Amino acid sequence: MKISRLLITGFITGLIAAGCSGDKESFSISGKITHAEGQTVYLEELHVSNAKVIDSVKISKDGEFKFKGKTGIPAFYILKLTPSSFITLLVDSVEQVLISADAADFSRNYHVEGSPGSVQVKLLRDHLAATRKKLDSLTNLNNMYRGHANYESMNREWSQLYDSLKYKQSEFTRQFVMNNPFSMASVYGLYQKYDDNEYIIDDLHTMRVAASALNTIYPGSGHVQALYQNTLQLMKLEKDAKLRQFVQEQGQNSPDIVLPNPDGKEIALSSLRGKVVLLQFWSALDKNSRIQNEALVEAYRKYRNKGFEIFQVSIDEDRPDWLEAIETDRLTWVNVGDMEGSNRALIAYNIQKIPYNYLLNEDGEIIAQNLVGTNLDRTLAQLFK
């Protein structure tokens, strides 16, 4: 799965600056911008969907400027001369940030000190800028020599070099994040892009490490919460993608289960083909399983005559508990279990928790999973309408 194509919150559009905990202390951002005398320089604070101007000053005849602000935790700011000429800074509460640059090359060639986070952001920015320059050169060469007699072999060589440069860039950023998981600069690195559609990092593990570490240190930071929630969503998408892959690789879509019922007769899941089947994993000793049984009884009553069946797999190891729960909860559908945990069935369907279920169509294909309460009834109502 390409993580880069699934990220929903881009650093390019900014990072939320909210929920700071602790007392805010004063920081300053000052410096000298040559060949910019009399121009206005703006200080903006980055948000998820926009950047908010919080101050502006006229650059003196000597090229000097100064801002003061307050923040309780590291926050992202933009120092902007024009819409296309700006510097991204990561400023902590009491830092005295010093900037030196020239207006003609403001965003590409500047010096920053007094702010470790801003230095790290510049390192990430500069490394990506150098990689982009090399990638652009290869693209230009490829376009220039298109139609040349040796174009095919040259194109092959340039393509390999192109891929190698992207891999090295990705590894550089990944290593930075893994080495600096508690630095807010890692958020910047995780949201860097080659272009509008392709992020540098497509490794969910790297995102997970940074999100977890930063959430421990800065739980009130909007920057961190955006990353944390994004990572949780990607983890869910990855899980869903693995399920789809699992389904595709199984041929018939769902592996068969053959286990004994309470009478000792072996019943196969595949024997229910032609019906819509809820494959439910449960335990007589699990409170949530027993609660969910109540909803299953109602669903079975409503839809059994329309072609609905339940194939319930017990992970219990105590037969009397299992039989008592079946009788007490009035479970009249197919119930099976080997009283040894039914481990092969659990592994086959990658069951990590109970209760858990899969809904299979008449051909035995998985069409939904973990349907609970009203979601189960709503899904069945749609199928049997």
User: In the CATH hierarchy, which fold is given to the domain comprising 258-383?
Assistant: Glutaredoxin (3.40.30)
**Helices 116-144 + 151-179 axis angle, to 10:** 170
Question: In angstroms, what CA-CA distances link 64 with 39, 59, 184?
Answer: 11, 6, 28
Extended beta strands in the chain, E state: 25-34, 40-46, 51-58, 64-71, 75-82, 85-91, 96-102, 110-113, 258-260, 266-268, 276-282, 308-314, 334-336, 356-360, 366-369
Question: What are the structural domain ranges in the chain?
Answer: 25-115, 121-238, 258-383
| pLDDT in single tens digits along all 385 residues of the chain | 344 334 434 443 443 233 334 457 799 999 999 999 999 999 999 876 678 999 999 999 999 999 999 998 899 999 999 999 999 999 999 999 999 999 999 999 999 999 999 999 999 999 999 999 999 999 999 899 988 889 899 999 999 999 999 999 999 999 999 999 999 999 999 989 988 778 898 888 898 899 889 988 888 888 788 888 888 887 777 666 665 565 555 444 578 899 999 999 999 999 999 999 999 999 999 999 999 999 999 999 999 999 999 999 999 999 999 999 999 999 999 999 999 999 989 988 888 899 999 999 998 888 889 998 888 999 999 899 8
The β-bridge partners of 193 are 199
**Helices 287-303 + 374-383 axis angle, to 10:** 20
What would you report as the CA-atom Rg of the chain, rounded to the nearest whole angstrom?
A: 29
Give the span between the Cα atoms of 362 and 366, in whole angstroms: 10
Q: What CATH number has the domain spanning 25-115?
A: 2.60.40.180
Angle, CA of 14, 205 and 356, to the nearest 5°? 105
Which residue type is seen at 287? Answer: K
Place of tokens 């699992």: 246
**189 neighbors 124 (Cβ within 8 angstroms):** yes
Give the residue among 47, 46, 24 at the shortest CA–CA distance from 93.
24
Taking the mean position of all CA atoms in its chain, how far away is CA 10? 12
| Spatial CB neighbours of 126, under 8 Å, sequence gap ≥ 6 | none
